[in-house]
Amino acid sequence: MGCFFSRRRKPAQGGPQQQAGAGQDAASGEQKAPQYSWDLRAKIDPKDYTFSGLKNETVGRLPGKVAGQQFVIQDCENCKIYIFDHSATITIDDCVNCQIFLGPIKGSVFFRDCKDCKCVVACQQFRTRDCRKLEVFLCCATQPIIESSTGMKFGCFQYYYPELALQFKDAGLSIFNNTWSNIHDFTPVSGENNWGLLPETAVIQDYVPLPSSEELKAVRISTDATKSIIPVTRGRRQKNSDESCLAVFFAGDYTTANARKLIDEMTSKGFQLVQTKEVLMKAEDAHRVFQQSALEFIPLLEKGPVIALEFNGDGAVEQCQSTVNEVFSGTKVFVSESKASASQDVDNFYNFADMQMGM
């Protein structure tokens, strides 16, 4: 085959400048190499996305420095590691006694052969293999999986810095889809329990302290649960009351803000947020979940996903109805109509949501 550039070109039209623009340098008359879009991309150095073989160090990446790339952490000991950005996937191998913060991960995070580590993690998929004594404050969109791992402890992700909300969006993660306590043990041992939940009173800074290096101090962090990007939920901890209430917000300009407002109102009155979900619904789903109220809400489902909240506590239904009427009088919200129907409302919605999300 002949060379691509060996083909004879037609004479260029116009004067010398136009002729030069057709592929020659006007001054030298030399042929220019063509430029392609991939030539203009920034060159990626894998070293910028790897922490390897570190001991007794504090290291990290500031917001904007990872920008959706893959990251590797391996063979680190007694280190404090902070990734304050979103990433594609992260693998953590053979790390011992490390404290790790990982910002939103679009795909999976995989811990292998790690022990005695404390972590704060937000991801689409979470998995461990051959790990021992990991304590993890987790936000995970799908069911977390542990394999050949022991002494695992889990709590709900709670963290804030100004860039974090946009990073969740860039990673394609909803702040309302968090199955942190719904752990699947791929290799259970009869008579033993390889995982459990961290105490409700656990203080995140006692596990993963704020960074001490001057560079990383620039990130304005809060570990106050009330400021957390992710609503802090009870998950599968035992409920304090037999009474729960389901509240569902429909897509609109202020759906997220309204949901957060109701959470603040209810929790400030002593009710507990059990779980949250953000999911698309169809008309047939509405009949299953909203039953006799379905026709009222079906037109709203075309606007986008709904956000559902479960509150628990004696009087939760009455208080939720009262709050919605007072604070959200101009907003369409589904709230359980009675204490008698509330448990069924909760079950109907979350069974549907789990099926939609493949859990």
Handedness of CA 162, 168, 174, 177 (dihedral sign): negative
Please report, in range form, the residues annotated as the binding site for GTP: 107-108, 124-127
CA torsion angle for 23, 25, 31, 34 (degrees, to 10)? -50
CA 96 – CA 93 distance, rounded (Å): 9
- Residue 181 and residue 20: Cα distance in Å, rounded? 66
One DSSP character per residue, 327-342 reads H-TTS-EEE-S-HHHH
**Contact predicate 101/82, CB 8 Å:** yes
**Separation CA 303–CA 281 (nearest Å):** 10
Please give the annotated binding residues, written as ranges.
107-108, 124-127
Q: Are 232 and 267 in contact (CB under 8 A)?
A: no
Q: How far, in Å, CA of 262 to CA of 150, rounded?
A: 38
